[in-house]
Amino acid sequence: MGLNRRAALGAMATGAAAMAGVQTAKANDAKILPQNKMVAMLYDTTLCIGCKACVSACSEANGLTPDTGESGGIYQMPKYLNDKTKNIIKLYVDEKTGLRSYVKAQCMHCIDPACVAACPMAALQKNPVNGVVTWDGTTCLGCRYCQIACPFNIPKFEWTEFNPKIVKCQFCDHRMAEGKGPACCEVCPREAVIYGTREELLKVARKRIADNPGKYFEDRIYGEEEAGGTQVLYLTHVEPQLLGHLVPLGKRSIPEEVESVQNTLYMGFLSPIIAYAALTSVLKKRWQEHEQEAKHIEEQTGLKEQL
């Protein structure tokens, strides 16, 4: 399957960084991390009741200011992931059939992350021990390449801050360092989101599929292979792409896609400087498109939010 539009933008951001001569994290070392070492999460739409306990727990555990803007300051009510929100529950409703589903969104902790490959300052890193993708503010330039590179539209930027940060789920790494689990998983009353190793959770997901014929969409585990595989996995009863960020992606990671494009350019004897200039000019235009698209997504998803 080819790249979708967001993935194509991501490939460009990743490619531009690569062509600028900065170090990229292509075919990350963590790619060879054994499945039983990767920390993972499994979310099951059929178990989630949309209570949003995980949203509040995430906010509290990460010391975020609750986003109460939409409720006039009364209670936490983010429309989508934003600079105060690392985890969100959205409601999808098919107006014709009445089919509905909750969906949880946070960083997917990609096995070969485009954000890491695109970052020219190595501010985004993949933990070599457990594969978690984290951001470190000490080297971040604020270029936002990671935002454009991410095929799932996850990293957010603190526009209103003097010293802005990139905000995204870090898999509660500070809690894991204390021997605790991710707050969202620990608080869920339905075990709709659980954590473990990727190996364990793939087994759990396959067993649920085998035990419940016809329950899950195409007996598929989203994230098993998409974009080279992610450490956050989904079992859904509706088509994943209807749920917002679970976009259709091929089996190759974005950095792998970029490498293939670069190889093609070199094979065509196109100078890397010319290729970089071309990519940068297109990127500038796409950057504006990206802003409009992000705004549109937030408006659209906000309409579907259940309060």
Q: Which residues pair with 93 in a beta bridge?
A: 100
- When asked if residue 62 is in the footprint of ligand SF4 (CB under 6 A), the reply is yes
Site for ligand SF4 in 127-146 (CB under 6 A): 133
In whole angstroms, how close is the CB of 230 to ligand SF4 at the nearest point? 7
Segment contacting ligand SF4 by CB under 6 A, of 20-28, 167-175, 284-292, 293-301? 167-175
190: closest CA among 291, 305, 49? 49
Q: Is 168 in the site for ligand SF4 (CB under 6 A)?
A: yes
Q: Identify the residue among 79, 84, 109, 208 touching ligand SF4 (CB under 6 A).
A: 109
Sign of the alpha-carbon torsion through 133, 137, 141, 143: positive
Q: Select the span of 57-65, 66-74, 203-211, 271-279 touching ligand SF4 (CB under 6 A).
A: 57-65
169 touches ligand SF4 (CB under 6 A): yes
Number of neighbouring beta carbons within 10 Å of residue 111: 24
- Which CA distances in Å does 191 have to 31, 41, 43, 112, 187? 28, 11, 8, 27, 8
Residue 217 · residue 237 · CB < 8 Å = yes
Min. distance of Cβ 124 from ligand SF4 in angstroms?
7
Give me the amino acid identity at 195: Y
Burial class (CB in 10 A: 0-12, 13-18, 19+), 305: middle
x-or-dash string of contact with ligand SF4, 172-211, rule CB under 6 A: x---------xxx--xx-x-xx------------------
Q: Quick one: which of 214, 217, 210 has its CA closest to 243?
A: 217
What span, in angstroms and rounded, lies between the C-alpha atoms of 42 and 40? 7
Question: How many whole angstroms separate alpha carbon 112 and alpha carbon 283?
Answer: 22
**Residue of 20, 22, 27, 53 interacting with ligand SF4 (CB under 6 A):** 53
103 contacts ligand SF4 (rule: CB under 6 A): no
Give the residue, chosen from 49, 99, 129, 282, that forms a contact with ligand SF4 under the rule CB under 6 A. 49
Of residues 79 and 109, the one with the C-beta less far from ligand SF4:
109
Q: Is 87 in the site for ligand SF4 (CB under 6 A)?
A: yes
Residues in the chain: 307
H or E, element range at 124: strand 124-126
Give the one residue of 89, 205, 221, 233 binding ligand SF4; rule: CB under 6 A. 89
**Contact positions vs ligand SF4 (CB under 6 A):** 48-54, 57-58, 61-62, 86-87, 89, 102, 104, 106-110, 113-115, 133, 150, 152, 154-155, 168-172, 182-184, 187-188, 190, 192-193
